[in-house]
Structure 1
Amino acid sequence: MADEKKLSPVEGIKSESRFLRGTIQDDLANDSDQFDKSNMQLLKFHGTYQQDDRDSRNKKNAEGKSVKSYSMMTRTRVPGGRLTSEQMLAHLDLCEDLANATLKCTTRQALQMHGVLKSDLREAIQRINKMHLSTLAACGDVNRNVMCCPAPLNDSVHVEMRALTDALKDHLAPRTPGYYELWIQDEESGEKTLVGGGEPEEVEPIYGPTYLPRKFKIGIALPEDNCIDIYANDLGFLAVVREGKIIGYNVSVGGGMGTTPSAAKTFPALAKRMAFVTPEQAIGVAEAVVKVQRDFGNREDRKIARLKYLIANEGVEWFRGKVEEYYGEKLQDCTADEVHGFDDHMGWFPQGDGKFFYGLNVESGRLFDSEDRRWKAAIRAICKEFNPGVHLTAHQSILFTNLEEAALPRLQEIIKQHGLPLTEEVSTVRRWSMSCVALPTCGLAVAESERVLPELMSQFEVELAKLGLESDAFTVRITGCPNGCARPYNADIGLVGKTKAKYTIFLGGQLIGTRMAKIYKDLVPFEEITSTLVPIFTAFKEHRQSGETLGDFCDRVGNEQLASWSEQLV
């Protein structure tokens, strides 16, 4: 255990918070437009971040001082990305009533809103809970939204994966009553004082009073369908299927995309395979993994507090031994089953129960209405007419589920009537692209991401068509900072904001998410990204091997050869 004298300031805030209550109640009662700094840390556990509009930071008040426009980002936890039409419609209403009128499908199958005023925060969270959803543990140093393949296939494999998703969400949820007291309880009840107390093992039997050293993420996938990017998670369950039934899971540990360029001690990492578990062991082993990270993760330096650093320092065999100790039983070795495919589930497919689903590609996951594109209006119309299930993908898109086979023409008509492209009309490169939110709302962003992705994809479309590569599938992921929320470090092409309008280009990852990319060029101005990559595309066309993907090609030939070919082609 870490020496308490060396603990990071956030550890002190958590320790003194009375299980995440802090003085949030007092802040909610005052007239200020922002929260206390300590409470800002605690609010993350409740599913909300304080932000300010970065576009307005240059504005001055009457005294000539910079003025910040504060608001809250509020994230809804959506296990496996599964929503009802009613829940989606309620979110669309909420983003218009209390936020900035746009809704974001995240890279982890959740929904988030920006621009919620502090004075409206309690109402926003109350309304989300009335949808039978929650913001608790959507952020913070706890297990966050559990990811799972969103395909609504009704075979025993997918049914069991969805059941494990829900069981993990429930078992690893924070137990503190502070969330209910702050956001849900009736203010007219007369209960104005929050109740503290309770022993750690009573209030938080898994987490204790200081929760985890850092955020924790879980994903569930299939070898033939790694659509949720399992190895980017702290804990992964890869289903092992025999004769149509799940006999267990290969468990991986220690994935995470975030890094700090100024700190050489930080790095992105893919999870390592640890052990095989039976379905009956899965929940208990997950709890053991969480508890080992709780007790041995770094609480002195948050930059190196994720599980990946513990495993890098101690080794996966040491970690497995500790998990077995906490679980109370030896575990089997992983089977040979490994990721070998990726299905984004875009388009029209049978579910296996006589119904169908349609995957609608949503660029960057942003749902908004403008003069020429009306995403929210289209989704409203679809939900009201068909009452489908709404499943969010890890690529920020939407599956409309439980549709009759005859519904397709009308569904497509609604999409087109609202100025949106059918998935079949979206270019391959745009379909496989992804971005984080970045500017103007994210406080960590140093460069643009979501707002420049459409322009970049338009440039790529032109150049790839010239080369006859428009049908090649490869991932392009851009982030506004090195924290990697859009998972750029295992993409075929990763673009990571390094400073204002300049990016680090990574090459050689893999669409199926099992290999890290390498830095090709640093500090590339945005306007030079396409011209920098066109020679790579050209070399790929001329020198690729049969069946080779762009990422495989870049990894095989290496940066030195790529640079040499690029110089010859310029």
Structure 2
Amino acid sequence: MTEKIAPIEQLKIDSNYLRGTIQQGLADPITGAISEDDNKLLKFHGSYQQDDRDVREERRKQKLEPAYSFMIRARLAGGVITPTQWLAFDKIATDWAQFGLRITTRQTFQWHGVRKPHLKLSLRAITDALASTIAACGDVNRQVVSASNPLLSEHHALVQYWAEQISDAFLPKTNAYAEIWLDGEKVDALTQGDEVEPIYGKTYLPRKFKIGIAVPPLNDVDVFAQDIGLIAIIEQDNLVGFNVAIGGGMGATHGDDTTYPRLGSVIGFTTPENVLAVAQAIITTQRDHGNRQERRYARLKYTVDTMGVESFKAEVERRSGVFLSAPRHYRFEQNGDRFGWVKAANGRWHLGLRIDSGRLMDTAQGSWLSGMRAIAQIHQGHFRLTCNQNLIIADVATRDKAKIDELVAQHQLDGYQTQSGIRSTTIACVALPTCGLAMAESERYAPVILPKLEHLLAQHGLTNERIVFRISGCPNGCSRPYLGEIALVGRALGRYDLRLGANFTGERLNVIYKQNIAEEEILSTLNELFSRFAKDRVDQEHFGDFLVRHEVIAQPTQKLIPLVLQSA
């Protein structure tokens, strides 16, 4: 008897390799939407259908359909783009999107508010800029993130090379993308070979899949939040290979203890020439053993915990033919970004800019969209997007620094010079009004709550203390809230779970301290803890470590899959 599969699995089987009826839905002028099934398939092409929840009720009263639009996400391995690409992406944001450009927590760009008639035009423009959106969403390996630390320029090119190799190796092979968005034209990286999916098959993966590469001592990609985390091992100034971590993931569901965030488990070390084979073995093991009956248990973390880490590792070694040796020594010091000018070993300069929630728009606080447009028009190097929603103007010659500085100051992009420690680490997801999963505000709440936190910290002499702060509008974890020393996870409008106790290097999960509380209690609770921290901390101690040492919270532990799932 065939096991019952989730409806999305049957949809993938019936989709004719991700085609569905997307083309027909795009051509329908009667509605601004496409069908629910096609929206699920559209994710594999790098887009989601959304609607503006701020006006949803008013439009319902007027007997109008929701204000539908589409989010588009680019696939930019390692977050590296050229000035020419920047200008092309800026034009899409200006001509067809709302809310400017947005840097995501996966080191790429999103466009929000694109109407259906402009969706194909936008994807074609992204392709014309020598980029793509395929597999930026959906049940496939998504955007591969990679270290952006400007002090590691001598290693960045090689790590970036492997990010691109991994990204290309696990692209879907279907021709559907070219047929729907490029009028059947073939794009070499997207449409090579016959109409088969040699790695994914007709059902692709059970859920989304994420890969990240970090270069110690900076864990700027939160490598343990990835399905596959690769920790680059540099010995005698050479990349000798990668420690491999499996099973990281941030999503959970309120009130359901069978779902949980998980840190990746380090299972061994492999050399660069074997990393693709090992990654493919992990992906295909997840393909064949992942849960396709219950979607909430379908991420790799649950597969690893169901099989057991050692059994999963043995299966990876069997499939890849690669023996994973003992992990090599490494040490992380922090998991955030650097700001300001940094000179690399090759004599080139890199300017790190802090961007609130990654949102590049022209506002009274700074003309980010037009300012970066002006910089892209004269910049001779490249740009790096970071996993913390920030930006690096990279590879700048000494003679060009003054002009970059002039444009940064002119457009008020220099807030990094006076930012507080907690602001420098803050990440917020999009949440309302466009995210259909949001339970509370996040991006729009960050500029409300941050000044109040900064006021409290200043009272205790902690203005410059870097405390990792994350805000999420729901428990799905796009802003990686479970790795915040302080995190707010949305429960309802104006109400959040307060989570505390992750560490500064992204190697420990936080725990719930108080549930379902509003701003007044959030601030009063943190004010008391800030006071204790200021008085009783030891030298160089971080906030999360202080809370654990003083037993304000229990020592966080890695949560294992409940027995109920072992037989699911």
Task: Name the TM-score, length of structure 1 as normaliser.
Answer: 0.93
Aligned residue number for residue 556 of structure 1: 549
Q: Which runs of 5+ in 2 are unaligned?
A: 556-568
Q: CA deviation at 1:72?
A: 0.4
Q: CA deviation at 1:527?
A: 4.1
Aligned residue number for residue 47 of structure 1: 46
User: 1 CA distance for matches of 2:47 and 2:112?
Assistant: 10
| Cα contact 1:509–1:555 (8 A) shared by 2 | no
Aligned residue number for residue 184 of structure 1: 182
Q: CA deviation at 1:153?
A: 5.3
User: 1 CA distance for matches of 2:532 and 2:25?
Assistant: 58
Aligned residue number for residue 6 of structure 1: 4
| Cα contact 1:474–1:550 (8 A) shared by 2 | yes
Deviations 1:282-328 (A, max 9, x none): 01100100000000000011101000001112211010011011112
| Cα contact 1:43–1:49 (8 A) shared by 2 | yes
| Cα contact 1:58–1:66 (8 A) shared by 2 | no
User: 2 CA distance for matches of 1:354 and 1:321?
Assistant: 45
Amino acid at match of 1:413: E
Aligned residue number for residue 566 of structure 1: none
User: 1 CA distance for matches of 2:526 and 2:127?
Assistant: 46
Aligned residue number for residue 377 of structure 2: 384
- Structure 2 counterpart SS, 1:51: strand
Runs of 4 or more off by more than 6 Å in structure 1? Answer: none
Is 2:530 the partner of 1:537? yes
1:441-480 pair list within 5 angstroms: 441-480=434-473
Q: CA deviation at 1:342?
A: 3.5
The partner residue of 1:492 within 485, 491, 500 is 485
Amino acid at match of 2:207: R
Amino acid at match of 2:45: H
Q: CA deviation at 1:155?
A: 5.1
Is 2:91 the partner of 1:93? yes
Aligned residue number for residue 118 of structure 1: 116
Amino acid at match of 2:97: A
User: 2 CA distance for matches of 1:560 and 1:250?
Assistant: 31
Q: Which runs of 5+ in 1 are unaligned?
A: 190-195, 563-570
Q: CA deviation at 1:415?
A: 1.9
CA RMSD of aligned residues (A): 2.0
Aligned residue number for residue 78 of structure 2: 80
| Cα contact 2:472–2:478 (8 A) shared by 1 | yes
Of 457-466 and 152-161, more deviation after overlay is shown by 152-161
- Structure 2 counterpart SS, 1:227: coil
User: 1 CA distance for matches of 2:70 and 2:322?
Assistant: 44
User: 2 CA distance for matches of 1:240 and 1:152?
Assistant: 17
Amino acid at match of 1:220: I
**Are residues 4 and 28 of structure 1, via their aligned partners in 2, closer, same or farther at CA, if it must alter by over 3 Å?**
farther
- Structure 1 counterpart SS, 2:239: strand
**Are residues 126 and 521 of structure 1, via their aligned partners in 2, closer, same or farther at CA, if it must alter by over 3 Å?**
same
The partner residue of 1:297 within 284, 290, 293 is 290
| Cα contact 2:482–2:499 (8 A) shared by 1 | yes
Deviations 1:189-219 (A, max 9, x none): 9xxxxxx9x98xx611111111000000000
Aligned residue number for residue 36 of structure 1: 35
Aligned residue number for residue 192 of structure 1: none
1:137-286 pair list within 5 angstroms: 137-152=135-150, 156-185=154-183, 203-286=196-279
Aligned residue number for residue 559 of structure 2: none
User: 2 CA distance for matches of 1:560 and 1:388?
Assistant: 46
Aligned residue number for residue 504 of structure 1: 497
Amino acid at match of 2:67: S
User: 2 CA distance for matches of 1:497 and 1:534?
Assistant: 20
Of 328-337 and 210-219, more deviation after overlay is shown by 328-337
Aligned residue number for residue 568 of structure 1: none
| Cα contact 2:222–2:506 (8 A) shared by 1 | yes
| Cα contact 2:211–2:228 (8 A) shared by 1 | yes
Aligned residue number for residue 546 of structure 1: 539
User: 2 CA distance for matches of 1:519 and 1:60?
Assistant: 37
Aligned residue number for residue 567 of structure 1: none
**Are residues 543 and 52 of structure 1, via their aligned partners in 2, closer, same or farther at CA, if it must alter by over 3 Å?**
same
Task: Name the TM-score, length of structure 2 as normaliser.
Answer: 0.93
Of 287-296 and 65-74, more deviation after overlay is shown by 65-74
User: 1 CA distance for matches of 2:364 and 2:536?
Assistant: 44
Of 105-114 and 30-39, more deviation after overlay is shown by 30-39
Q: CA deviation at 1:156?
A: 4.6
Calculate percent identity across the aligned residue pairs: 40
